[in-house]
C-alpha cells in the first residue's frame, strides 16, 4: 500500500521505517508518490514522467548494453552515457596508432561515427502489473522449482499477446520476491555508434584513487547515436540505417544546480537487498564482506605496487587492478557504513516488533516466518561462504587456475574427432598468446601465495576442495612447487606441448598440478556447493516472499519499494552535500580549480591535458561557466546503485542537469540500508559535459544538435511535456 500524504513523518515511528529520499520507485506507481515529489519541487505530473499513450520522460531513458543507463539528448538519436560504460566500445576502436582512449574521439560528421557490433540500446515501451494473472494461476503448495516452471508457463502467453504484430519484446518479471509480477515490453536497437568520448585523462581523471570518493573531478561521459532502419525501427547495423527519431528528447539545462534544488533520476539500477533479515545482515557484516575484502586486499597488495614499477606491467595489469579494486572498495565502504548505522541492531529491533505482532495477528499466519528464515540462514551460511571463497579464489585469484581450466576441452579431446581437435587447438594457442601478453608469472605466483592461506582459513572445512589436504603447513613451498612443475607457468613449454599434441600432451596436461587443482576446485564447487546453495536459496526466497508480504499486511501504513532488479526505476531527492561522519562536511559542488589542485604532470591518474590547462588559465569557459568558475561535479541525495551509471539526473521540469556515475564511499551501504544524512550519488554537471564537447574538443556541432535551454529563454523544440 502506498500513501499519498507525506509519508516520512509517520514512517520514522514505524519499524522498517523508510527514510527520506529512500526508494527506487516503479515508474507505473508514481501516482502514489507524486504528492511528495511535488511538495519537494517537481513541477511535472506522474503522467509527464511515465505515460503509455503519450511521449513522456521514460521514452528518453535507455538501457545501454546490458548494465548501464543512457539518455536521449537530441532529436537525431544522440544518447549520453558514462565514459566507463562506453569504455569497451572506445577501447575496441583504439590502437597504438590511433589511441582514441588516450586522445579522445569526436566524430566530425555522421559518416565518421563508429559501429559497435553487439551493442544495444533498449527502450521500455510499457510496463503492466500482471500479478493477478500470475498468482491466481499458481497453487500455493508448489515447491520453488515447480513454481518457477508454472510461472514460466503462465508468463509465456502474456508476453506473446503483448507483442503480437509488433517488433517489440516482452518479459514477465518477478518483483518483491515474487509477490508481484510485471509485464515489461521493450524495443531494442542494434545499431549504436560511437560519436564522442573525452580522453582518459578527462573521462577517467582520478582513476581508482578517486573511485567511490567525493570530491570528484572527472567528466565520466561518452556520446553514442542510435541508428534505425528507414522506417525508424530497429535494424541490424547497416549503411542504409539513419539516425533514430525518438519519442522524447531531454532538454539540457544551462541554469546550473543549487543546493536544495529538487532532483530526480531515472535508470536501470541492478540489485539492492533492502529486506535482508538480521541474520543475513550479520553474515554480510561478519563473514562475507570481510572474506571478500581480505582476499582482494591480499591480491591488490601484490599487484597494485607492481603497476607502478614498469610500463609493461602497468599495461598488463591496470585493468585487472581496476576490476579487483572497484568492488573491494565498495565492500569496505559498505561494511563501515553498516557498522556505523548499526544496521544489524536496527534489523533485530524491527524483527522483534514484527514478531510481537505476528504472534497473534492474522491467526498467526506470519508467526513462524522469521524463525524459519533464521534456521535457513544458518544452514545457508557455509554454502554462501564456500561460494564467496570459490569466486574470490578461482575467478578473482591466481590466473594460472583459470588458464589451466580453459584447457579442459583440449585435454579431454574432442571425442576422437581429429578435425574438431585441430580447430580447438588452434583456438587455444591463439587464446594462450593473448593471455600471456598480459601475464606475469612472478606476480601471479605471489598472488597465489598470498591468497592460499586466507582461502584455507576461511573456506568451511566440510565444503573445502580436497587438494587443500595436500598443501601442508609450508604453503609457499607448495605454491613454488606447483609453479615449478606446471606447464601453464611456462608459455614456451605449454605451446610446444600443444603443438605436438597427441596423447602425450593430453596425459601431461591432465596430470599438470595447476590443472588438477583447478579441476578440483571447480568440480568441488559444482558438486559439493552449488546444488545445496541453490536448494536452500530457493527456500530462503520463498521465506522472504512470505516475510515481505507479512510486512505489508501487518504494517499496512508502511511504504515499500521493491528491491532493484535491473528494471526501470525513479528515485528523487535534492541537490545536496552531506555530513557523512562526525567532523566531516562535503560541499555539493566541485569546480575546475579542483582538477588543477589534483594535477600531477605525467601521472597515470592525475595528468591533465594541455588544452584543458589552457582553458583554465584563460578562464575560457564560454557560456558554461558560472561567475568565473567552471562547475565539474555535484552530489545529490538520490538513491542509486550499480546500473544507474549513465542515468540522467533531472530538475523539477524534467531538464537534464547532470549525469550519474558513482556514489560516495560513505553511501555504499545504501544497497542494504539507505541513510538520508550520508548517502549521496555523484554526477557530472551537465555544463561540464557541454564545455568539454564544445570548448575542449571543438565539437560544437554536437551541442548544436541538443535542445539546450535556459529558464529565461523558451525551448526551441516543442516538448511533449504537458504541465
Residues designated as active site: 84, 220, 645
In the complex with ligand GLU, which residue's Cβ is closer, 87 or 182? 87
Q: Pairing state of beta strands 105-106 and 708-709?
A: unpaired
Report the candidate in 606, 621, 618, 605 with the shortest Cα–Cα distance to residue 685. Answer: 621
Note whether 673 binds ligand GLU by CB under 6 A. Answer: no
> Smallest distance from the beta carbon of 382 to ligand GLU, in angstroms?
29
Distance CA 541, CA 642 (A): 22
Note whether 565 binds ligand GLU by CB under 6 A. Answer: no
Note whether 571 binds ligand GLU by CB under 6 A. Answer: no
With CB atoms as reference, the residue minimizing the distance to ligand GLU is 645
By CB under 6 A, name the one of 10, 75, 322, 510 that touches ligand ARG. Answer: 322
**Look-up: residue for cell 600443444?**
498
| Segment near ligand GLU (CB under 6 A); pick from 356-364, 365-373, 617-625, 635-643 | 635-643
Cell of 575: 541537490
Note whether 550 binds ligand GLU by CB under 6 A. Answer: no
Instruction: Report the partner that residue 644 touches, choosing among ligand ARG, ligand GLU, none (CB closer than 5 to 8 A by kind).
Output: ligand GLU
Angle at 155 between CA 150 and CA 156, to 5 degrees: 105
How many residues touch ligand GLU under the rule CB under 6 A: the total is: 9
Note whether 267 binds ligand GLU by CB under 6 A. Answer: no
How many residues touch ligand ARG under the rule CB under 6 A: the total is: 10
By CB under 6 A, name the one of 253, 524, 567, 641 that touches ligand GLU. Answer: 641
Distance CA 403, CA 708 (A): 51
By CB under 6 A, name the one of 225, 545, 663, 680 that touches ligand GLU. Answer: 663
Instruction: Report the partner that residue 355 touches, choosing among ligand GLU, ligand ARG, none (CB closer than 5 to 8 A by kind).
Output: none
Angle at 133 between CA 132 and CA 138, to 5 degrees: 90
Handedness of CA 433, 434, 438, 442 (dihedral sign): negative
> Smallest distance from the beta carbon of 23 to ligand GLU, in angstroms?
15
| Segment near ligand GLU (CB under 6 A); pick from 233-241, 315-323, 536-544, 659-667 | 659-667
Cell of 437: 601478453
Q: Pairing state of beta strands 262-267 and 252-253?
A: unpaired
Report the candidate in 679, 570, 565, 548 with the shortest Cα–Cα distance to residue 33. Answer: 570
Note whether 213 binds ligand ARG by CB under 6 A. Answer: no
Note whether 218 binds ligand GLU by CB under 6 A. Answer: no
Three-state secondary-structure class, residue 167: coil
Q: Can you list the alpha helix ranges (DSSP code H) found in 579-674?
A: 592-598, 610-617
> Smallest distance from the beta carbon of 561 to ligand ARG, in angstroms?
21
In the complex with ligand GLU, which residue's Cβ is closer, 563 or 662? 662
Cell of 190: 542494434
By CB under 6 A, name the one of 662, 666, 675, 685 that touches ligand GLU. Answer: 662
**Distant-in-sequence, close-in-space partners of 653: CB < 8 Å, separation ≥ 6:** 43, 44, 251, 721
Residue burial 680-702, b: 16+ Cβ < 10 Å; e: rest = bbbbbbbbbbbbbbbbbbebeeb
Note whether 640 binds ligand GLU by CB under 6 A. Answer: yes
> Smallest distance from the beta carbon of 596 to ligand ARG, in angstroms?
20
Note whether 605 binds ligand ARG by CB under 6 A. Answer: no
Contact 295, 396 (CB under 8 A): yes
Q: What are phi and psi for residue 403, nearest 5 degrees?
A: -60, -50
Note whether 563 binds ligand GLU by CB under 6 A. Answer: no
| Segment near ligand GLU (CB under 6 A); pick from 477-485, 626-634, 641-649, 703-711 | 641-649
Note whether 207 binds ligand ARG by CB under 6 A. Answer: yes
The DSSP letter of residue 706 is: B
> Smallest distance from the beta carbon of 595 to ligand GLU, in angstroms?
20
Note whether 644 binds ligand GLU by CB under 6 A. Answer: yes
**Distant-in-sequence, close-in-space partners of 231: CB < 8 Å, separation ≥ 6:** none
Instruction: Report the partner that residue 207 touches, choosing among ligand ARG, ligand GLU, none (CB closer than 5 to 8 A by kind).
Output: ligand ARG
Distance CA 281, CA 273 (A): 10
Note whether 23 binds ligand GLU by CB under 6 A. Answer: no
In the complex with ligand ARG, which residue's Cβ is closer, 208 or 671? 208
Instruction: Report the partner that residue 687 touches, choosing among ligand GLU, ligand ARG, none (CB closer than 5 to 8 A by kind).
Output: none
By CB under 6 A, name the one of 399, 662, 666, 685 that touches ligand ARG. Answer: 662
| Segment near ligand ARG (CB under 6 A); pick from 208-216, 274-282, 352-360, 509-517 | 208-216
| Segment near ligand ARG (CB under 6 A); pick from 36-44, 204-212, 303-311, 334-342 | 204-212
Instruction: Spell out where 98-248 has E strands.
Output: 105-106, 114-115, 121-129, 169-175, 180-189, 191-197, 222-228, 242-243
Omega of the bond leading into 215 within 30 degrees of 0 (cis): yes
> Smallest distance from the beta carbon of 67 to ligand ARG, in angstroms?
9
DSSP secondary structure letters along 72-129: E-BTT-EEEE-HHHHHHHHHHT--SSS-HHHH-EE-SSGGGPEE-TT--EEEEEEEEE
By CB under 6 A, name the one of 251, 562, 580, 643 that touches ligand GLU. Answer: 643
In the complex with ligand ARG, which residue's Cβ is closer, 84 or 695? 84
| Segment near ligand ARG (CB under 6 A); pick from 71-79, 207-215, 226-234, 291-299 | 207-215
What's CA 310's distance to the chain center, in Å?
31
Note whether 211 binds ligand ARG by CB under 6 A. Answer: yes
Footprint on this chain of ligand ARG (rule: CB under 6 A):
84, 207-208, 211-212, 322, 326, 642, 645, 662
Give me the residues that bind ligand GLU (CB under 6 A), please: 640-645, 661-663
Amino acid at each position: 500500500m502506498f500513501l499519498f500524504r507525506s509519508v516520512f513523518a509517520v514512517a520514522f515511528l514505524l519499524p522498517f521505517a523508510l527514510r527520506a529520499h529512500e526508494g527506487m520507485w516503479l515508474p507505473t506507481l508514481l501516482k502514489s508518490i507524486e504528492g511528495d515529489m511535488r511538495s519537494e519541487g517537481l513541477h511535472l505530473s506522474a503522467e509527464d514522467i511515465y505515460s503509455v499513450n503519450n511521449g513522456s520522460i521514460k521514452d528518453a531513458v535507455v538501457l545501454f548494453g546490458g548494465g548501464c543507463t543512457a539518455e536521449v539528448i537530441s532529436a537525431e538519436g544522440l544518447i549520453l552515457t558514462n565514459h566507463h560504460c562506453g569504455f569497451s566500445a572506445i577501447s575496441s576502436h583504439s590502437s597504438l596508432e590511433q589511441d582514441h582512449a588516450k586522445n579522445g574521439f569526436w566524430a566530425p560528421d555522421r559518416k565518421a561515427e563508429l559501429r559497435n557490433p553487439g551493442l544495444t540500446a533498449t527502450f521500455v515501451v510499457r510496463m503492466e502489473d500482471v500479478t493477478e494473472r500470475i498468482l491466481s494461476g499458481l497453487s500455493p503448495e508448489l515447491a520453488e522449482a515447480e513454481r518457477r516452471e508454472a510461472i514460466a508457463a503462465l508468463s509465456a502467453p502474456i508476453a506473446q499477446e503483448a507483442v503480437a504484430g509488433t517488433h517489440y519484446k516482452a518479459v514477465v518479471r518477478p518483483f518483491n520476491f515474487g509477490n508481484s509480477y510485471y509485464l515489461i515490453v521493450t524495443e531494442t536497437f542494434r545499431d549504436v555508434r560511437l560519436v564522442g568520448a573525452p580522453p582518459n585523462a578527462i573521462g577517467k581523471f582520478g582513476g581508482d584513487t578517486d573511485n567511490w570518493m567525493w570530491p570528484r573531478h572527472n567528466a565520466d561521459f561518452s556520446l553514442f547515436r542510435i541508428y534505425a532502419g528507414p522506417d525508424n525501427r530497429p535494424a541490424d547495423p547497416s549503411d542504409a540505417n539513419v539516425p533514430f527519431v525518438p519519442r522524447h528528447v531531454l532538454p539540457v539545462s544551462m541554469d546550473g544546480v543549487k543546493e536544495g534544488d529538487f532532483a530526480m533520476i531515472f535508470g536501470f539500477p541492478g540489485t539492492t537487498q533492502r529486506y535482508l533479515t538480521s541474520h543475513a545482515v550479520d553474515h554480510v557484516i561478519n563473514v562475507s564482506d570481510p572474506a571478500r575484502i581480505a582476499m582482494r586486499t591480499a591480491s591488490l597488495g601484490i599487484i597494485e605496487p607492481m603497476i607502478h614499477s614498469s610500463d609493461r606491467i602497468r599495461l598488463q595489469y591496470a585493468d585487472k587492478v581496476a576490476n579487483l579494486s572497484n568492488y573491494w572498495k565498495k565492500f569496505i565502504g559498505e561494511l563501515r557504513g553498516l557498522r556505523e548505522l548499526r544496521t544489524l541492531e536496527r534489523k533485530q529491533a524491527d524483527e522483534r516488533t514484527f514478531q510481537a505482532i505476528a504472534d497473534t495477528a492474522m491467526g498467526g499466519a506470519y508467526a513462524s516466518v522469521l524463525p524459519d528464515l533464521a534456521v535457513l540462514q544458518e544452514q545457508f551460511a557455509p554454502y554462501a561462504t564456500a561460494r564467496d571463497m570459490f569466486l574470490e579464489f578461482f575467478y578473482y585469484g591466481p590466473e594460472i587456475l583459470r588458464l589451466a581450466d580453459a584447457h579442459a576441452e583440449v585435454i579431454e579431446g574432442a571425442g576422437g574427432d581429429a578435425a574438431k581437435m585441430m580447430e580447438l587447438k588452434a583456438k587455444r594457442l591463439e587464446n594462450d598468446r593473448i593471455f600471456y601478453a598480459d601475464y606475469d608469472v612472478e606476480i601471479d605466483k605471489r598472488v597465489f601465495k598470498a591468497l592460499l592461506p586466507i582461502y584455507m582459513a576461511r573456506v568451511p572445512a566440510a565444503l573445502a576442495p580436497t587438494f587443500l589436504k595436500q598443501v601442508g603447513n609450508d604453503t609457499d613451498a607448495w605454491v613454488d612447487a606447483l609453479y615449478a612443475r606446471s606447464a601453464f607457468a611456462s608459455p614456451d613449454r605449454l605451446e610446444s606441448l600443444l603443438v605436438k599434441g597427441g596423447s602425450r600432451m593430453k596425459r601431461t596436461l591432465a596430470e599438470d598440478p595447476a590443472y588438477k587443482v583447478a579441476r578440483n576446485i571447480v568440480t568441488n564447487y559444482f558438486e559439493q556447493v552449488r546444488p545445496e546453495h541453490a536448494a536452500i536459496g530457493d527456500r530462503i526466497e520463498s521465506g522472504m516472499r512470505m516475510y515481505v508480504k507479512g510486512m505489508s499486511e501487518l504494517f499496512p501504513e508502511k511504504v515499500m519499494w521493491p528491491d532493484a532488479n535491473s528494471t526501470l526505476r525513479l528515485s528523487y531527492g535534492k541537490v545536496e552535500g552531506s555530513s557523512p561522519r562526525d567532523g566531516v562536511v562535503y560541499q555539493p559542488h566541485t569546480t575546475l580549480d579542483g582538477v588543477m589542485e589534483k594535477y600531477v604532470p605525467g601521472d597515470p591518474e592525475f595528468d591533465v591535458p594541455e588544452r584543458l590547462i589552457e582553458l583554465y588559465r584563460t578562464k575560457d569557459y564560454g557560456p558554461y561557466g558560472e561567475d568565473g568558475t567552471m562547475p565539474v561535479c555535484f552530489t545529490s541525495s538520490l538513491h542509486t546503485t550499480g546500473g544507474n551509471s549513465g542515468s540522467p539526473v533531472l530538475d523539477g521540469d524534467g531538464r537534464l542537469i547532470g549525469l550519474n556515475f558513482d556514489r560516495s564511499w560513505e553511501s555504499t551501504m545504501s544497497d542494504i540500508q539507505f541513510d538520508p544524512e550520508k548517502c549521496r550519488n555523484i554526477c557530472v554537471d551537465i555544463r561540464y559535459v557541454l564545455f568539454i564537447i564544445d570548448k575542449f574538443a571543438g565539437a560544437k556541432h554536437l551541442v548544436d544538435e541538443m535542445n539546450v535551454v535556459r529558464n529565461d529563454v523558451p525551448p526551441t523544440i516543442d516538448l511533449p511535456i504537458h504541465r
